Amino acid sequence: MSDETENNAEDTAANITETTEENNGPQIGILGQYIKDLSFENPTPAQTLQQMSQEKPSMDINVNLNARGVGEDVYEVDLKITSTAKIGENTAFVAELVYSGLFAAKNLPENTLQPFLMIEAPRQIFPFARRIIADVTRDGGFPPLMLEPIDFAALYQQQMQAAQEQAEATDDVVVN
């Protein structure tokens, strides 16, 4: 990140801090959003485009989230979307995007910070990531891939349940 961008993020976080001193309630803000990584692979375009007139590609879409603190009350949330299209055994295209948002979160209760970072923050940046995926697939010679809206609350609950089950399984292990 450039020094200017870091300074702008720090200034915005400072403004939230100043506002919070007057109001001790929770304060959140989007400091920025950006493409962190973008890749589009079209291994055999001539063959694939000819096959598409006869057969519709199968799609596999994976979504991953990551959140980390990058400063005092400042967090980076990464939304990673990987979409793979196949026609038969051949890969038509692979589009990978890591779209990130920088969020300020001040005075959030501990039990709401993680849900904010894993539900509300990705919900805010998803429309922009969706447009980028649609544009890159269209620019790759394919119909735009319009991702369906994602239920980040359900995704978060699944992740929490999986983590709890893993913790319980670890507790069940007996060491002699």
Q: Is the pLDDT of residue 166 over 70?
A: yes
Q: Is 136 in contact with 38 (CB distance < 8 Å)? A: yes
Average pLDDT over residues 37-64: 91
Question: Regarding predicted confidence, which is higher, 165 or 68?
Answer: 68
- Residue 24 main-chain phi, psi, to 5 deg: -80, 10
> Does residue 88 fall inside a structural domain?
yes
> Does residue 172 fall inside a structural domain?
no
Question: Regarding predicted confidence, which is higher, 56 or 37?
Answer: 37
> Does residue 73 fall inside a structural domain?
yes
Average pLDDT over residues 98-106: 97
> Does residue 161 fall inside a structural domain?
yes
> Does residue 44 fall inside a structural domain?
yes
Query: Would you place residue 167 in the very low, low, confident or very high pLDDT band (cuts 50, 70, 90)?
Result: confident
Burial 69-106 (b: 16+ CB within 10 A, else e): eeeebbbbbbbbbbbbbebeeebbbbbbbbbbbbbbbb
> Does residue 171 fall inside a structural domain?
no
Residues spanned by the domain of 32: 3-166
> Does residue 68 fall inside a structural domain?
yes
The count of structural domains within the chain is 1
Q: What is the CATH number of the domain that holds 25?
A: 3.10.420.10
> Does residue 175 fall inside a structural domain?
no
Average pLDDT over residues 24-31: 91
What is the percent of the chain with per-residue pLDDT over 70, rounded to a whole number? Answer: 84
Average pLDDT over residues 61-71: 95
Return the top range by mean pLDDT from 2-11, 43-52, 111-120. Answer: 111-120
Lowest mean pLDDT among 12-26, 59-73, 75-89, 146-160: 12-26
Query: Would you place residue 15 in the very low, low, confident or very high pLDDT band (cuts 50, 70, 90)?
Result: low
Lowest mean pLDDT among 4-8, 119-123, 133-137: 4-8
Q: What is the pLDDT of residue 74?
A: 97
Q: Is the pLDDT of residue 20 over 50?
A: no
